[in-house]
Structure 1
Amino acid sequence: MKRFSLLFLGAVLLLAPLSRADEGMWLLPLLQKYNIATMQSMGLKLSAEDIYSVNHSSIKDAIVMFGRGCTGEVISSQGLVLTNHHCGYGAIQSHSSVEHDYLKDGFWAMSMEEEIPTPGLSVTFLVRIEDVTDVMNNMLQGRITESERAKIIEAVGDSLSAEATKDTHYYALVQSFYGGNAFYLLVYETFNDVRMVGAPPSSIGKFGADTDNWIWPRHTGDFSLFRIYADKDNKPAKYSPDNVPYKPKHHLPISIKDLEKGDFAMVLGYPGSTTRYMTSWEVEESEKITNSNRAYIRGIKQDIILEDMLASDEVRIKYASKYSGSSNYWKHSIGQNQALKRLHVKSSKEKSEAEFLKWLDGNGKRKEAYGEALPLIRDAVKGRRDYVHANQYLLETLYMGTEIIGLASRANDFYKYLNEGQEKISDDEKEKEMAKRVNRFKESAKAFYKNYNCPTDKKVAKAMFKLFNDNVSKELQPELFNIIRTDYNGNFDEYIDNLYDKSIFADSVKLWAFLENPSAESLKNDPAFYAATSIGKTRESYSEKIGFFNDNYKKGHRLYVAGIMEKNEGKPKYPDANFSMRLTYGKVLDYYPKDAVHYNYITTLKGVMEKEDPDNWEFVVPDKLKDLFESKNFGPYAMKNGEMPVNFITNNDITGGNSGSPVINAKGELIGCAFDGNWEAMSGDIIFEPDYQRCISVDIRYVLFIIDKYAGAKRLIDEMTIAR
């Protein structure tokens, strides 16, 4: 194993300048070895040290992990953070009400005193990345199972993380890269006092909504603003009115100069997940199971929810964030399946596998080292097929698709305590422990009910239970479904009506009454809790079955990636995205999506007006924006030709998690905020398509124009560093 590790790392260190400039999500500590020469030949004026440095301020110190799944960038010396509107959407929604509808009307703090604290929202800075592959692999010697391997990795990772953060307020984790063949320690600093500063109305921030999502040309002002607050020593602190704006090590200067085709552009951020080493069997699984199921189930659920949202402002506000999160990957699944077929991705993967097998046949040692890789993957994917299908249906329709089931499942630990946990503590502690558990569950339920509408959930539940029953074989269904067939003669509407009528979880009044005098017996007899328990047991059985196959898959995948690295020694390879900070570089670039069709690299406010449809909520244009357009009151943010830019595209390699990432020019200046990919390359997480892959960004000049001319919040412009 040790010899293998050294061979592998040797191959990795040789991977550099032959890669396409526009492909790859690269690790920052390796830029000097792999990428900087190519980047500078494309026009970059900075050094690798200017981008990533442990000892000095650098661009990475202006990049944050925003919340739990996005990226943001610091754009002023007072901790002002820019991210996407859809990344800040949950926060905007949480502060909205019928009386203060920030989703519909937007929000702008005209002073720091008006900036709104947002509990639960955090931003995280990367402190450093350290290669710990040799340390980890030294502990992975000998013949060990995949389960044993995982336990060792976890234990060693915990030890390394603890040592790295000793006597600091940082946190750290060890992540695997290159299919589990390399390991890096990542150290972070998190700030939890983050306040909402500004957001355009959804008619700007989500203009085009589902129809335009993933589509170019695009005309969306997808941005929002927040501010980081710290204690008087500039350290992370929980919310306090005494906290002050954070002073960053670095903030991004902003360029308002015109963009030209071919201009250098790089994106730094936290791409969530790619599967570029996916095999043909996995492509088929994604196409026929994962994507197809998600698109079908969510399409039905979203139609029900949207009908209620359009009928009531209260329901619209409650479900805005949930609907947006669901619909984003509903459309992604549809687009990815179309791209997988159109671009013949499965055939491309089969060709790569054939080349790999041919390479193995040429050498006995290779065959011994990597010969079982593809058979392990193939057999695992085929073996888990039925369980993956059933598990996805269970999650999409019941466990996450029906909200009351999700709430009832949270009571499982509380039930265990009521049923047997009190025997383990003294009488003196029982009252205190009960009060603590009741309060904890009540706080969780309060957050749930804030964004819950029982009639909507009931409609969804009737559709979702039927969907699960019709599409999952009976032998894989929870015991609950046998009861519905027996006691309700298979009438799901009648069963759902009874569940919502009788469950304590259907509304807060019933649940609060139960919590006044909770008992295990009452919970056990509650129909929603019983349903959640039955569904939970079935989910555990699926996980056990899938886990058996996944152990073999993980081994096969690790060996396959290791073999590819050795096979392609001397050629550049980057690890799959795993929500660690990466850099991708490319150019501002147009493209030809199909025969006789050309898409320019930039869109303007004129296009917003052309798309306007006052009868379609997705394409409503605010009156003030129309007035600004008619008067050409664009300030210093217009292009030289007098038009107002809105969005632009580059050929940077991005994925989910890059939302909110800064698009930076050759001088290290901010030119845009990435927010989407394009329809023609929806297979990009699986295979990079250089002719089609584009990153869609909101032009920073449109951001400044909306802040200044539309919102009148020039105080925010004044704290930025503008390069004119």
Structure 2
Amino acid sequence: MWMPTQLPDIAKPMREAGFRGRAEALADVTAPPLSAVVKVGGGTGAFVSPDGLLLTNHHVAYGVIQYNSSAERNIIDGGFIADGRGDERPSNPDFRVLVTVGFDKVTDEVLSDARGKTGRAYFDAVDAASKRIVAECEQGGDVRCSVANMYYGTDFYRIRQLELRDVRLVYAPPRAIGNYGDEIDNFMWPRHTGDFTLLRAYVGRDGKPADYSTDNVPYAPPAHLQVARSGLHAGDYAMLAGYPGTTFRHRTAAEFDAQVNRVLPQRVAVFDALIDAVESAGADDADIRTRYASQLQSLKNNRKRAAGELEGLLRSDALRLRGEDEAAMLAATTGEDAAGIAELRAILGQADAAAVRDQLLTLVASQTQLLRSALLLERLRIESAKPDDALRETGYQRRDHALIEGVLRQVQRRYAPAAEQALLQVLVSRYQQLPDAQRLPAFDAAFGRTPDSLAKALQTVYSGTRLGTEAERLSRFAQAREGQPLASDPLLALAAQIVAAQLDAEDARKTREGEQLRLRPAYMRALFAWRAQQGRAVYPDANGTLRVSYGKVEALAPRDAVAYAPVTTVAGIVEKHTGQVPFDAPQPLLDAIARGDFAGTDEASLKTQPVNFLTNLDTTGGNSGSPVLNARGELVGLNFDSNWESVSASWWFDPRYKRAIHVDMRYMRWLMDKVYPAPALLEEMGVPAR
């Protein structure tokens, strides 16, 4: 997962792998072709026309599809094709597309006031400098800025991005194409999934980002990718660009141990319980099933990812190998860096003790809708009462008001009281079982310490709250953004107690994080030196910034006597079809396969229509929707998954098993030509129907 600025340094191995372009041309994230690659929701996407047409995964845009779906018109199941641009449907108000327009190193500016400090003071100095850089960056308007931490406090970069707020649904295949196989096939190979969706970004008539309006015009991107007419074969060069979320490959051996023996088993168990809660709540209620479809999909994906990560780390013997590698590195490290690493290991032990509790507190906020809104409002009130943005917590500054308002508006289509209370029963009951040393008094005061007190608290607040209506939420938002007291509501009273608990935990966390920011660079310097002795370059762990991976189309042999070809075809769709979810291929698809009209999109060597293919590209969460390019920079695939054996790659990259799974663009073209036709869109992408 190379930073684009590192690519000129590895130009030789890229050429040897088959790249036919100039690595130097990829070093600038604001120039073509990388300027066509953007952050879309929680994943990645790429512009594929000069009129803002944007290609990403069906599952990345699933929330947009769900937002526009209802029990009466279920476009999740039926799919959607806009009847012209006037019929393109607005996304949920908090959905964003970010176009990177600047990427600059600001390490000295961030660390100048932090040097010589420790703990919370170090954290606050870095935080204050980052806020100052962001505020100065955004003074001109029209851009969203952030400061990215590279190599765990060693370097910092200022990132400038256009924040496109008017994003519309253009084309989505039916669920039984976009999510064919669902959780049974998730993280599995062979796959037969058309996991793609087309969106379009709009701006105001002045060309600047704007809220949704019928007067807006399509965004003119700085670049767009050309969809290839041909595909790849085994051994062919492939390259991927995207915004991977987070990797942990440079973490300590102790952190590897915690992940394997404590964090992942706990994560699997809690996600299992949350999935059961949502499914039970919606078992006899179609409305709940529709409202929670996107959230349930995310829970299932995260649960399977956690289970696969645990299994993969054990399969690769990562704990032993990381421990041996670190021990050898430490043996070669002396002086101040050795002392700093010893301090770091002690601090990490403190963080590990609070990990389970902090995970539950995070899920209480992220897996609820109405309570999340109340928590946002209460924290916004607290932060807005401070004199200026420099003192306010990131995420609650004036620059964040539009996004917070978007979150408050979208609740209406994603909330059901019974489902939310069931989710909270799961999370808080687990919190109540924690040892006393991990408990927070304010949280105990909010929910009590027994199942009966929890049930009573939830019944009281949810039967009495008025925040279920948009007008009530927005009226409190108007008060909160000015730092004024909020009109009384039982859910807001509960939120006030929870926020107090969150602030207590946050204070201790920031002290620990300050020490980690100060001490981890010593670990990284030791790692740089150790890898240099091994002749290996070091890329920073992924952190949501643009990265590039290169490799080739490659088959997979994960176990003894088991070998998989790197390409699947439509024959596999028919073989898997049972007529029952999740293998209920739509009849128009089955009919088109039976006709065998694959002219122009077929794979000649297979004499049929390809669907998905494998590469050995380095990917993780956030790379969903990343464009896959051939040696000439043409768009040949769309990344959407990894194989089961490589789910642990966020912690440990094992080239024997790591494969990425992509939609072949020829399958997308065939679907849009012969199955669910959209000739105007194919024409717009430069690959007209045949």
Short-chain TM bin: 0.7 to 0.9
In the TM superposition, what are the counterparts of 1:3-402 in structure 2 within 5 Å? 25-32=1-8, 34-53=9-28, 57-67=31-41, 69-118=42-91, 119-133=93-107, 139=112, 143-157=116-130, 167=140, 169-232=142-205, 234-360=207-333, 367-396=334-363, 398-401=364-367
Q: Relative to 1, partners in 2 of residues 1:588 and 1:511: Cα closer, same or farther, differing over 3 Å?
A: closer
Kindly indicate whether residue 588 of structure 2 is the aligned counterpart of residue 624 of structure 1: yes
Kindly indicate whether residue 430 of structure 2 is the aligned counterpart of residue 467 of structure 1: yes
| Alignment-mate amino acid for residue 259 of structure 2 | S
Report the CA distance between 1:41 and its aligned residue: 1.8
Find the partner of 1:548 among 511, 524, 533.
511
Q: Relative to 1, partners in 2 of residues 1:243 and 1:457: Cα closer, same or farther, differing over 3 Å?
A: closer
Q: Distance in 1 between the 2:212 and 2:471 partners?
A: 31
Report the CA distance between 1:270 and its aligned residue: 0.8
Q: Distance in 2 between the 1:511 and 1:658 partners?
A: 34
* Structure 1 contact 176–182 (Cα < 8 Å) conserved: yes
Q: Secondary structure at the match of 1:371?
A: helix
Q: Secondary structure at the match of 2:354?
A: helix
| Alignment-mate amino acid for residue 386 of structure 1 | A
* Structure 1 contact 191–229 (Cα < 8 Å) conserved: yes
| Alignment-mate amino acid for residue 316 of structure 1 | R
Q: Distance in 2 between the 1:141 and 1:512 partners?
A: 39
* Structure 1 contact 661–674 (Cα < 8 Å) conserved: yes
Q: Distance in 1 between the 2:474 and 2:543 partners?
A: 41
In the TM superposition, what are the counterparts of 1:543-582 in structure 2 within 5 Å? 543-569=506-532, 571-582=536-547
Kindly indicate whether residue 672 of structure 2 is the aligned counterpart of residue 699 of structure 1: no
Q: Secondary structure at the match of 1:311?
A: coil
| Alignment-mate amino acid for residue 408 of structure 1 | A
Report the CA distance between 1:440 and its aligned residue: 12
Counterpart in the other structure of 1:603:
568
Q: Relative to 1, partners in 2 of residues 1:443 and 1:269: Cα closer, same or farther, differing over 3 Å?
A: closer
Q: Relative to 1, partners in 2 of residues 1:248 and 1:389: Cα closer, same or farther, differing over 3 Å?
A: closer
* Structure 2 contact 6–27 (Cα < 8 Å) conserved: no
Q: Secondary structure at the match of 1:329?
A: helix
Q: Secondary structure at the match of 2:661?
A: strand
Q: Distance in 2 between the 1:178 and 1:35 partners?
A: 19
Alignment gaps of 5+ in structure 1: 1-24, 361-366, 422-438
Counterpart in the other structure of 1:501:
463
Q: Relative to 1, partners in 2 of residues 1:664 and 1:147: Cα closer, same or farther, differing over 3 Å?
A: same
| Alignment-mate amino acid for residue 711 of structure 1 | Y
Q: Distance in 2 between the 1:514 and 1:160 partners?
A: 31
* Structure 2 contact 103–159 (Cα < 8 Å) conserved: yes
Counterpart in the other structure of 2:632:
667
Report the CA distance between 1:414 and its aligned residue: 8.4
Counterpart in the other structure of 2:394:
none
Report the CA distance between 1:399 and its aligned residue: 3.9
Q: Distance in 1 between the 2:640 and 2:150 partners?
A: 25
The farther-off stretch of 140-149 and 630-639 is 140-149
Kindly indicate whether residue 591 of structure 2 is the aligned counterpart of residue 638 of structure 1: no
Find the partner of 2:673 among 690, 694, 708.
708
| Alignment-mate amino acid for residue 405 of structure 1 | L
* Structure 2 contact 29–100 (Cα < 8 Å) conserved: no
Report the CA distance between 1:502 and its aligned residue: 3.9
Q: Secondary structure at the match of 2:578?
A: coil
**Cα deviation code 1:493-531 (max 9, x no counterpart):** 45544443344456789989999999979837x2x4444
Q: Distance in 2 between the 1:235 and 1:535 partners?
A: 39
Alignment gaps of 5+ in structure 2: 386-401
**Percent sequence identity over aligned pairs:** 29
Find the partner of 1:409 among 375, 380, 384.
375
Q: Secondary structure at the match of 2:677?
A: coil
TM-score, with structure 1 as normaliser: 0.84
Report the CA distance between 1:293 and its aligned residue: 2.0
Q: Relative to 1, partners in 2 of residues 1:326 and 1:710: Cα closer, same or farther, differing over 3 Å?
A: same
Q: Secondary structure at the match of 1:229?
A: strand
* Structure 2 contact 120–515 (Cα < 8 Å) conserved: no
Q: Distance in 1 between the 2:434 and 2:504 partners?
A: 18
Number of aligned positions between the proteins? 666
Q: Secondary structure at the match of 1:372?
A: helix
Q: Distance in 1 between the 2:476 and 2:516 partners?
A: 46
| Alignment-mate amino acid for residue 600 of structure 1 | A
Q: Distance in 2 between the 1:472 and 1:454 partners?
A: 30
Report the CA distance between 1:275 and its aligned residue: 1.1
* Structure 2 contact 4–28 (Cα < 8 Å) conserved: no
CA RMSD of aligned residues (A): 3.4
* Structure 2 contact 51–220 (Cα < 8 Å) conserved: yes
| Alignment-mate amino acid for residue 500 of structure 1 | Y
Q: Secondary structure at the match of 1:194?
A: strand
Q: Distance in 2 between the 1:697 and 1:582 partners?
A: 17
Q: Distance in 1 between the 2:435 and 2:466 partners?
A: 29
Q: Distance in 1 between the 2:478 and 2:345 partners?
A: 54
Q: Relative to 1, partners in 2 of residues 1:689 and 1:480: Cα closer, same or farther, differing over 3 Å?
A: closer
Kindly indicate whether residue 649 of structure 2 is the aligned counterpart of residue 684 of structure 1: yes
* Structure 2 contact 225–634 (Cα < 8 Å) conserved: yes
* Structure 2 contact 351–512 (Cα < 8 Å) conserved: yes
Kindly indicate whether residue 621 of structure 2 is the aligned counterpart of residue 656 of structure 1: yes
Report the CA distance between 1:305 and its aligned residue: 1.0
TM-score, with structure 2 as normaliser: 0.88
* Structure 2 contact 48–685 (Cα < 8 Å) conserved: yes
Q: Relative to 1, partners in 2 of residues 1:315 and 1:542: Cα closer, same or farther, differing over 3 Å?
A: same
Q: Distance in 2 between the 1:166 and 1:485 partners?
A: 46
Q: Distance in 1 between the 2:510 and 2:376 partners?
A: 24
Q: Distance in 1 between the 2:537 and 2:71 partners?
A: 54
**Cα deviation code 1:419-441 (max 9, x no counterpart):** x98xxxxxxxxxxxxxxxxx999
Q: Distance in 2 between the 1:517 and 1:28 partners?
A: 44
The farther-off stretch of 308-317 and 282-291 is 308-317
Q: Distance in 2 between the 1:229 and 1:442 partners?
A: 19
Q: Secondary structure at the match of 2:572?
A: helix
**Cα deviation code 1:588-643 (max 9, x no counterpart):** 1012111111111111111122222323x222211111111111133421211332
Q: Secondary structure at the match of 1:317?
A: helix
Report the CA distance between 1:411 and its aligned residue: 4.4
Q: Distance in 1 between the 2:686 and 2:2 partners?
A: 28
**Cα deviation code 1:628-684 (max 9, x no counterpart):** 111113342121133221111111111111110100000111010011122112221
